[in-house]
Amino acid sequence: MDTLAEVNQKGFVDEYIDPTLDLFAEIERLKKEKNAIILAHYYQEPDIQDIADYIGDSLGLSQEAAKTDASLIVFAGVHFMAETAKILSPGKKVLLPDVKAGCSLADSCPPHLFRKFKEKYPDHLVITYVNCTAELKALSDIVCTSTNAVQIVESLPADQKIIFGPDKNLGAYVAKKTGRDLVLWNGACMVHEIFSQEKITRLRERHPAAKFIAHPECEEVVLQMADYVGSTTGLLKYTINSEAEEFIVATESGIIHQMEKANPGKTFIPAPPNNSCACNDCPYMKRNTLEKLYLCLKNEYPEVTVPEHIIERARVPIERMLDISAKLGL
């Protein structure tokens, strides 16, 4: 194995892998040997989705991390998700195939600046989207995901003043759906902000029967055009339940693997970004590869840790979210 310093610089274990090795079989063998579970987000590459024990959106992954009895969690997702798993299962070892799998949205809300922002609104309750650092969660009253954000706001008294962060697009969507006046932090996801209203309009003209579906992290102009807005699980369910044969999908392109598996014969078109790069691939999510996942399971490294005092404080708002979601059957 590389030295610790090298791993830290690269973000992953960079070790030679015999090209004749059947990685799927090796991962299965190591999983049994180590009593490990692989949790993967829908935005991971197809090979990782196919080897995962559980695949889901942010809410489903948190629920799974809270209840697993595995000794080792390999989190095929991004850093804040692995941190959330660690906070919910502090006694377990949580691994992330590449620790540089961060998140532009989490980065858009540095905790020291958010603390100052929060001080300006002392009578407000703080709801934070799960896409943020553990330190930010420790400054929050309730965490939410894109599946339950609307219901969590609605579960609070109508006159409750609320700060919502870090995603201004999800925040604006929730404010509109609930009719509440939320104080928003000005953060966003680089993948969901890139969709082009003009190009989507042109694409819809070419595919008039296609349903246009979008994740609430997209900008309001894009959400206004959508036939359905929902979390990744919500979007997947919509494609299964809809009679339509064609869908234009405005979220990270990884979800299309599950949509195609669940809907043989239906067509899924990734919504076009406002430039010619493949920007609806999240560069952080896509840092994880099957090779890195195998090496991290084999070496039990890199590990994601969270300081004890942050775990204690961040656990409360996450558990509040899980309790509200369980009561609502989400």
* CA-angle at 211, arms to 171 and 261, nearest 5°: 95
145 binds, among ligand SF4, ligand 13P, none (CB under 5 to 8 A by kind): ligand 13P
Alpha-carbon 68 to chain mean position:
19
Of positions 23, 65, 103, 256, contacts ligand SF4 by CB under 6 A: 103
Smaller CB separation from ligand 13P, 145 or 239: 145
Cβ–Cβ under 8 Å, residues 318 and 84: yes
Residue 231 binding target from ligand 13P, ligand SF4, none, CB below 5 to 8 Å by type: ligand 13P
Write the interaction track for ligand 13P spanning residues 193-222; mark x where CB under 6 A is met and - where it is not: ------------------------x-----
- Compute how many other C-beta atoms are within 10 angstroms of the C-beta atom of residue 83: 26
**Options 114, 164, 212, 284; binder of ligand SF4; rule CB under 6 A:** 284
Instruction: List the interface residues with ligand SF4, window 197-236 (CB under 6 A).
Output: none
Q: Is 258 in the site for ligand 13P (CB under 6 A)?
A: no
User: What phi-psi label fits residue 289: left (phi over 0), alpha (psi between -120 and 50 degrees) or beta?
Assistant: beta
Q: What's the CA gap between 266 and 241, in Å, rounded?
A: 12
Instruction: Count CA atoms within 13 Å of residue 80 on its CB side.
Output: 28
User: Could you tell me how far CA 147 lies from the centroid of its own chain?
Assistant: 11
Distance CA(80)–CA(64), nearest Å, equals 15
Query: Which of 59-67, 253-261, 270-278, 279-287 is the region at the interface with ligand SF4 (rule: CB under 6 A)?
Result: 279-287
Shortest reach from residue 216's CB to ligand SF4, in Å: 11
The verdict on 76 binding ligand SF4 (CB under 6 A) reads no
Choices 109-117, 150-158, 183-191, 259-267; region in contact with ligand SF4 by CB under 6 A:
183-191
Within positions 279 to 318, which residues make up the interface with ligand 13P, using CB under 6 A?
A: none
**Binding status of residue 104 toward ligand SF4 by CB under 6 A:** yes
Distance of CA 308 to the CA centre of its chain: 23
Q: Is 136 an interacting residue with respect to ligand SF4 (CB under 6 A)?
A: no
DSSP letter (8 states) at residue 285 = G
**Residue 145 near ligand 13P by CB under 6 A:** yes
Burial 204-228 (b: 16+ CB within 10 A, else e): beeeeebbbbbbbbbbeebbebbeb
* Binds ligand 13P by CB under 6 A, chosen from 7, 49, 57, 98: 57
- Distance, CA of 69 to CA of 91 (rounded, Å): 11
State the nearest-atom distance from the C-beta of 58 to ligand 13P, in Å.
4
| Annotation: binding site for [4Fe-4S] cluster | 103, 189, 282
Interface ranges with ligand 13P (CB under 6 A): 57-58, 131, 145-147, 189, 217, 231-232
